[in-house]
Amino acid sequence: MDLHKKVRIVGAGLAGSEAAWQCARRGVAVELFEMRPARTTPAHQTQDFAELVCSNSLKSESEHTAPWLLKEEMRRSGSRLLEIARETAVPAGHALAVDRAEFSRKVTEAISAEPLITIRREEVTEIDPEQLTVIATGPLTSDALSQEIVRLSTSGGDLSPSTAPLPHSSLFFYDSISPIVEADSIDMSKVYLAARYDKGSADYINCPMSKDEYDRFYDALLAAQSVDQKDWENLNYFESCLPIEEIARRGRDTLRFGPMKPVGLKDPRTGRIPYAAVQLRQENLRADSYNLVGFQNHLKFGEQAHVLSLIPGLENARFLRYGQIHRNTYINSPSLLNKTLTMKAHPEVMFAGQICGVEGYVESIATGMMAGMNAAALATGGEPVPPPRATALGSLIHYITAAESRTFQPANITFDLLPALETRVRDRKERHRQQCELALREFDEWHHRHVWQTGAAPTGARSGSKR
Ligand SMILES: Cc1cc2nc3c(=O)[nH]c(=O)nc-3n(C[C@H](O)[C@H](O)[C@H](O)COP(=O)(O)OP(=O)(O)OC[C@H]3O[C@@H](n4cnc5c(N)ncnc54)[C@H](O)[C@@H]3O)c2cc1C
């Protein structure tokens, strides 16, 4: 008699396919639900699993970069999708890019051939919180399931003030992302620290502009090209998070009365209020980076690089992320999830992929892998142990579960999600090399001690087994 619980996985995208395979590889049976082709999303075009809806790049393969570190940890854990990505790679310099059709075809083939995975081509609209389930329905989760997730997020378990989700912030539909800049690339001689009207501590970096500087910036912003808008995106921007170029189109001074308003921001060096000011706010868990407050925009990345370099102090800034606005369904993970990706209020329900607040193909596969491992552990009576904080996987999960819940936004893997080294290393390359080495040491130890011990021994594990 099979005493293992069966795992339901909803969504056979990047995260769901990887999660299913990780369960099966550990001898755990899976029911994998995929709504395509019966019902499709506005971005998917095929009925294959793990379709890459936009670019075909799985980011850098250069040693000692953050995307490399995450992939290296996934490789050491036996990520099946990463393995297929390597099998279907196309030349792309230092990046891992794939033949997208071949990639999805091979993932579909591998998952369909797995005897422990039963595929159900149907839309899931209800979740039974008593049943072990991984929700991996991505940024374009169907409407009916989105409503079900809101219901789940606001019900059950211990809804004391410390764990209760905020009803309106439990599910987001648009991602409006401000650019993020590396702190040590800001020219501090041109900016000053101050809080508006000196209220609270002077945590903001203010970039002051003269009239001439403002006019130059304004003209460049209006001339910059936006990202092509797909019909289905039809964004109908919310008034409270308009892109800066949209605000600028309403008049030359609108930005000076909006996100660039200088009132209450006296420059201590001149004793005067500047003509306009851009405020930079420190990211919560990103110790060495600042976001440009209210600077969400829909411009092409190259255009942003030019326009933002006209802001005093940012002439040579390095951007960790550019502004973006796109449809994105994601939960408020810091208030809803444990570090094992299980819901605080419903311990049998897990989330993985973009819907849990990570951003990007590799990050989605990575959290799918973790959810699959954890679900397999739970299904076989084991207890999942999250990866250490010093690892890329651990840092990503730490970010989505420990960030400030009111301002939570999805994140890619970057070095500023990883903890700082105990000893400060000035040279960036050397610092990153040391962070990677520490991460991999801790990763190997965790993987050796916990990963297989938490559940059943691996099955034949095909070519994915690295042990
Ligand atoms: C338009 C767009 C472009 C993007 N471009 C990039 C990019 O270029 N590079 C990058 O790194 N990231 C990109 N992303 C972000 C993200 O990496 C991808 O969306 C990625 O596919 C997310 O993986 P996932 O597994 O979470 O979701 P998906 O890969 O979208 O998988 C979710 C699956 O769930 C299915 N599903 C949805 N609802 C249900 C339901 N109720 N029942 C059953 N099945 C359901 C869907 O059909 C889908 O197959 C983009 C996102 C969007 C929306």
pLDDT digits (tens, 9 = 90+) for 308-332: 999 999 999 999 889 887 778 999 9
Q: How confident is the model at residue 164 (pLDDT cuts 50, 70, 90)?
A: very low
- Same domain, yes or no: 122 and 42: yes
Q: Please name the residues in contact with 21: beta carbons below 8 A apart, sequence gap of 6 or more.
A: 80, 81, 110, 111, 114, 117, 372, 464
Q: Whose CA is nearest to atom 8 of ligand 1?
A: 55
Average pLDDT over residues 359-376: 97
Rounded to the nearest angstrom, the distance between the alpha carbon of 421 and the centre of ligand 1 is 34
Which has the higher per-residue pLDDT, 41 or 206?
Answer: 206
Average of per-residue pLDDT values in the chain:
88
Position 241 pLDDT exceeds 90? no
Residues 68 and 196 in one domain: no
Can you give the CATH number for the domain in which 278 is found?
Answer: 2.40.30
The pLDDT assigned to 200 comes to 67
Strand (E) or helix (H) holding 207: strand 205-209
Percent of all residues in the chain with a pLDDT value above 90, rounded to a whole number? 71
The CA-atom distances, in angstroms, between 430 and each of 87, 217, 322, 418 are 31, 36, 25, 15
Q: Tell me: do 27 and 83 sit in the same domain.
A: yes
Q: Which two tokens stand for residue 37?
A: 């082709």
Domain end among 322, 355, 388: 322
Going by C-alpha positions, the residue among 446, 455, 447 that lies closest to residue 376 is 455
Distance between CA 228 and CA 406 in Å, rounded? 30
Q: Whose CA is nearest to atom 11 of ligand 1?
A: 360
Q: How far is the CA of 218 from the centre of ligand 1 (A)?
A: 35
Residues 164 and 199 in one domain: no
- b/e 266-277 (16+ beta carbons within 10 angstroms → b): bbeeeeeebbbb
pTM of the model: 0.78
Does residue 159 sit in the same domain as residue 214? no
Q: Is the dihedral of CA 423, 428, 429, 435 positive or negative?
A: positive
Domain assignment present for residue 2? The answer is: no
| End residue of a domain, out of 322, 357, 382 | 322
- Residue 404 counted as domain residue: yes
State the Cα–Cα distance between residues 367 and 357, nearest whole angstrom.
10
Here the tokens at position 298 are 């829909």
Contacting residues for 175 by C-beta, under 8 A, at least 6 apart: 139, 324, 325, 326, 327, 328, 330, 409, 410
Residues 348, 130: contact at Cβ < 8 Å? yes
Nearest CA among 324, 377, 365 for reference residue 98: 365
> Tokens standing for 115?
């005897």
Ligand 1 lining (C-beta closer than 6 Å) = 10-16, 33-36, 41, 43-44, 53-55, 123-124, 136-142, 145, 326, 353-355, 360-361, 364
pLDDT at 453 over 50: no
Q: Helix 301-308 and helix 211-223: axis angle, to 10°?
A: 170
More confident residue, 312 or 202: 312
Q: Is position 254 within any domain?
A: yes
Give Cβ neighbours of residue 133 (< 8 Å, ≥ 6 apart): 7, 8, 9, 10, 127, 348, 349, 350
On whether both 275 and 375 belong to a single domain, the answer is no
Residue 310 inside a domain? The answer is yes
Q: Are residues 349 and 318 in the same domain?
A: no
Range of the domain at 441: 7-175+327-464
Rounded Cα gap, residues 105 and 99, in angstroms: 10
Shared domain check, 369 and 458: yes
Domain boundary among 271, 297, 322: 322
Angle between helices 392-402 and 428-446 (to 10 degrees): 90
What is the position in ligand 1's atom list of the atom closest to the CA of 40? Answer: 47
**What does the alpha-carbon distance between residue 176 and residue 68 come to, in Å, rounded to a whole number?**
26
- Of the listed ranges 49-53, 73-77, 288-292, 371-375, the one predicted with least confidence: 288-292
C-alpha of residue 354 to centroid of ligand 1, in Å: 7
Q: Which residue has the higher pLDDT, 429 or 467?
A: 429
Q: What is the pLDDT of residue 166?
A: 40
Question: pLDDT of 278-296, one tens digit each?
Answer: 999 886 555 588 889 889 8
Q: How far apart are CA 279 and CA 263, in angstroms?
A: 12
Q: Which of 323, 271, 332, 270 is nearest to 300 (CA)?
A: 323
Residue 79 contacts residue 370 (beta carbons within 8 Å): no
